Amino acid sequence: MKYLILCLFLLFVPKLSAASPTFGLGVVVAGPTGITGEYIYGKDRDVSASLGWGDHSFHLNLDHHWNRSDMVKVDGRGINVYLGLGLRWLNWDTDYRDRDSDSEIGVRVPVGVQHIFRQVPIQIFFELAPAIILVDHTAFIIDIAIGARYFF
What confidence tens digit (pLDDT) does each residue in 58-84 have?
Answer: 899 999 999 998 888 777 777 889 999
Q: What is the 3-state secondary structure of 44-111?
A: CEEEEEEEEECCCEEEEEEEEEEEEEEEEEECCEEEEEEEEEEEEEEEECCCCCCCCCCEEEEEECCE
Q: Are the C-beta atoms of 58 and 33 separated by less than 8 Å?
A: no
**More confident of the two residues 112 and 22:** 112
Q: What is the pLDDT of residue 101?
A: 62
Q: Which CATH architecture has domain 22-151?
A: Beta Barrel (2.40)
Q: Domain-by-domain residue ranges, the chain?
A: 22-151
Q: Give the model's pLDDT for residue 130.
A: 96
pLDDT at 144 over 60: yes
103-116 pLDDT, tens digit each:
889 999 999 999 88
